[in-house]
A and B are shown apart, each in its own frame.
Chain A
Amino acid sequence: MVAPPPTAAGRGWLTTKVGEMDKPAALLRIENVSKQFGPLTAVDSLSLEIGHGEFFALLGPSGCGKTTLLRMLAGFETPSSGRILLDGEDIVAVPPHRRPINMMFQNYALFPHLTVEGNVAFGLRQERLSRAEIATRVEEMLALVRLKGFNRRRIDHLSGGQRQRVALARSLVKRPRVLLLDEPLAALDKKLRAETQFELMELQRKLGTTFVIVTHDQEEAMIVADRIAVMDRGRLRQVAPPNDIYERPNSRWVAEFIGEVSLIEGALRAGGILDSVFGPLRVPPNQTARGKVWLALRPEKLRLSTTRPEGDLNALSGTVSEIGYRGGVSIYKVRLADQSLIKVALSNSGPSSRLEVSIGATIWVSWPKENGVVLTQ
């Protein structure tokens, strides 16, 4: 235990610090925040903690309240109820221009009447820094986003990707505690987007700034983020690292929203057995749930074979209904005994891995019991 400094402000300070020792205090705390637009509840008593230096992603379908939540963090919307704490202080009443939080807007919102340099320096000018200091920090930032030498360029003479980087530089140059990014890559083409995702991660690691990114691209969220919050109609469905969200979704909704999944309904009984329409299926051990559940199966965790597989596997027979070639993988849709379709993805790692089957052929879908996930809701 750390000895109390002799000048410690008081007991209160000491006790809170010691009390939170085991778990580092969150940088940003959202407590029961709601936002009503007339009869519509855009954000519904949402609570969330975001840590220091975290790359946090808000993921959800269109209209679920991601932008609204971000705008409340930036100060452009006032919560109808609830508190937002930054470093333990409630910032709900602080106007946007006094918050140490910067935002990168969905449409970039660059100042069309200023040059690249003018845009990036704008925030620093508001802090009344010296000319020399502004100049060096702008240079530094432009170098960081690979826009060196673009200082005097007009905004309408830039490509989409360059504008995106000006917007990023402009919001980072003030060294905010938190950077909010509202769909920062949505306007870029696929290839540029993929490159920029890695650049964003690198930038975030270099600066150590907390990033909160909004996206409705689940792949993007999984690539860049340390943790993902899956939102649906103003509420959080699950908050977890990307791996957990994908491998251990907490509900059918999350499983279906993130990636592709096939669900088999059934009743769970003791001994790790699920009674389904296909008969008993083995599920991962140590299930606590009882009664009606769903077994979630990701396409790439399933195997296909033309004969019944040997060994300790769950196996279902069906007929091939569709084959989709996707380059790296091939997607097989197999129609099972109850007429439902199950998706299987096979990696095309070599010519031998191609399965020689045609549509209508009888086929076996199998998986070891650990590959399934039991969902109760």
Chain B
Amino acid sequence: MKRNISIFNVTSVVFGLAFLYLPITILVVYSFNASRLVTVWSGWSLAWYRELFSDEAMIAAAWTSLRIAALSATAATVLGTLAAIALTRFGRFRGRVAFSGMIYAPLVMPEVITGLSLLLLFVALNVDRGFWTVVLAHTTLTMCFVTVIVQSRLVDFDRSVEEAAMDLGCPPFKTFVIVTLPLILPAIAAGWMLAFSLSLDDLVIASFTSGPGATTLPMRIYSEVRLGVKPEVNAVCTIMIAVVALGTVTASLMAKRGARRREPAALAAQV
């Protein structure tokens, strides 16, 4: 009986993982295919990577995407951290519920709606769509994720450490800068990584809010694929997977490191 269950478990895990990762594995493997035909395997080769790096349009799109991701992630981190501080530190100020609701709304909002409404806003304001509108749109999209991460860190932050700093002669604002910030920095960095990955990956909102001359990498890939899948696209996707995976792993490692640092205080609080 027990054995049956464990066989069932193993099977479901294998199928689940295959379902999730088989397509990605195929994509990665075929990016090293020597053949021009996407479906025919004819040996290992780095030809498509070479081709990719000589495709200037693709490189330009990648560069645009990286710049947008870095800028929007930074802006989202600043705003998201401030929002998290307001939500955890300023008690029950007027409009707190509305404020937190508005911050978290983009988490569950369908991207099409966010994209469309931003498009309408930019049209109404008569803003030229391009690089900066995508940065703005991505900041809106990713800020709430930063807030969630930083807020969860601030909620279980041991306030007595801040009180100790003030007790030792450190004024409140300086305390925030030299005690609180270093302690929540891992969470802030994790938020930045997540925002960066989300921005790099986004197609829908970028398509709505971008304009001529500001084609992001996902937009570029999508337009290429519409004319048929080229092995070159497999190569660029493999690189993107690597970058995003690296970002996500770093973010979670940093969050873990933050948690470990918290331990001594948490331990002392228990006894």
Q: How many residues of A contact B (CB 8 A)?
A: 31
Q: Which of B216-224, B236-244, B263-271 contacts A (4 or more CB under 8 A)?
A: B263-271
Residues 246-266 (chain B) with a chain A CB within 8 angstroms: 260-265
Q: Is B169 within 8 A of A123, CB to CB? A: yes
Interface assignment of B166: CB less than 8 Å from any CB of chain A: yes
CB distance from A101 to the nearest CB of B (A): 8
Complex CA gap A333/B263 in Å reads: 47
Q: How far is the CA of A67 from the CA of B158 in the complex (A)?
A: 17
| A191 on the B face (CB < 8 A) | no
- For B161, give its contact among A76, A97, A106, A111 (CB under 8 Å): A111
Q: Is the CB of A112 within 8 A of B168?
A: no
Query: Nearest A residue to B174 by beta-carbon distance?
Result: A126
Any A CB within 8 A of the CB of B171: yes
Query: A105's contact among B160, B260, B262, by CB below 8 Å, is which?
Result: B160
Within 8 Å by CB of A96, from B166, B261, B271, lies B166
The minimal Cβ–Cβ distance linking B169 to chain A, given in whole angstroms, is: 4
Q: How far is the CA of A106 from the CA of B161 in the complex (A)?
A: 11
- Contacts of A109 on B, CB cut-off 8 Å? 158, 160-161, 163-164, 265
Q: Is the CB of B167 within 8 A of A156?
A: no
B167 in contact with A107 (CB, 8 Å): no
Interface contact B271-A186, CB-CB below 8 Å: yes
Map CB proximity to B onto A151-167 as digits: 1 under 8 Å, 0 otherwise.
Answer: 00001100010010000
For A258, what are the chain B residues with a Cβ–Cβ distance below 8 Å?
none
Expressed in whole angstroms, the Cα–Cα distance for A308 and B163 within the complex equals: 63
A257 within 8 A of B: no
Consensus secondary structure, chain B interface:
helix
Select the residue from A74, A126, A171 with max chain B CB neighbours within 10 A. A126
Instruction: Report B-chain residues with C-beta under 8 Å of the C-beta of A97.
Output: 166-172
Say whether A102 faces chain B, with CB atoms less than 8 Å apart.
Answer: yes
Q: Is A84 an interface residue (CB 8 A)?
A: no
Q: Which residue of the partner chain, among A76, A155, A160, A174, contacts B271 with CB atoms under 8 Å?
A: A160
Q: Which residues of B contact A174 (CB under 8 A)?
A: 168-169
* Interface presence of A127 (CB below 8 A): yes
Nearest CB of B to A125, in Å: 9
Minimum Cβ distance to chain A for residue B269 (Å): 5
Give B171's nearest chain A residue, CB to CB. Answer: A97
Q: Which residues of B contact A95 (CB under 8 A)?
A: 166, 172
B161 and chain A: residue at smallest CB distance: A109
Pairwise interchain contact B168-A102, C-beta atoms closer than 8 A: yes
Residue on B with the closest CB to A155? B264
- Residue from B163, B172, B264 within 8 A of A112 (CB atoms): B264
Q: How far is the CA of A97 from the CA of B269 in the complex (A)?
A: 23
Residue of A nearest to B185 (CB): A113
Among A107, A123, A171, point to the contact of B160 (Cβ < 8 A): A107
Q: Which of A243-279 contact B (CB under 8 A)?
A: none
A126-B269 in contact given A76-B163, A113-B182 (Cβ < 8 Å)? no
Chain A contacts for B261, CB-based, 8 A: 112-113, 156
Which of B261, B265, B269: most chain A Cβ within 10 A?
B265
B163 interface neighbour in A98, A105, A110, Cβ under 8 Å: A105
A335 at interface (Cβ–Cβ under 8 A)? no
The 8 Å CB contact of A127, one of B165, B167, B169, B262, is: B169
Indicate if the CB atoms of B269 and A107 lie closer than 8 Å: yes
Determine the chain A residues whose CB is within 8 A of the CB of B165 once the complex forms: 111, 122
**B179 is an interface residue with CB less than 8 A from chain A:** yes
Task: Give chain A residues whose Cβ lies under 8 Å from the Cβ of B171.
Answer: 97
Q: Is B183 an interface residue (CB 8 A)?
A: yes
> 1/0 per position for B46-62, CB-CB distance to A under 8 A?
00000000000000000
Selected contact of B183 from candidates A103, A106, A113, CB within 8 Å: A113
With A and B bound together, what is the CA distance between A343 and B264 in angstroms? 44
| A112 CA / B266 CA spacing, docked (Å) | 11
**A187 beta carbon closer than 8 Å to chain B:** yes
Chain B stretch 28-54: residues in CB contact (< 8 A) with chain A: none
Q: Does A170 contact B (CB under 8 A)?
A: yes
Chain A 68-93 per-residue mask, 1 if CB under 8 angstroms from chain B, else 0: 00000011100000000000000000
Q: Which residues of A contact B (CB under 8 A)?
A: 74-76, 95-98, 102-103, 105-113, 122-123, 126-127, 155-156, 160, 163, 170-171, 174, 186-187
Q: Contacts A103-B167, A107-B268 given; 5 further ones with Cβ under 8 A?
A: A97-B171, A105-B160, A109-B158, A156-B263, A174-B168
B positions within 8 Å CB-CB of A: 158, 160-161, 163-172, 179, 182-183, 260-265, 268-269, 271
Ordered by A's residue number, 12 sampled pairs between the chains whose C-beta atoms are within 8 Å are A97-B170, A103-B164, A110-B161, A110-B265, A111-B164, A112-B261, A112-B262, A112-B264, A113-B182, A113-B261, A160-B268, A187-B268
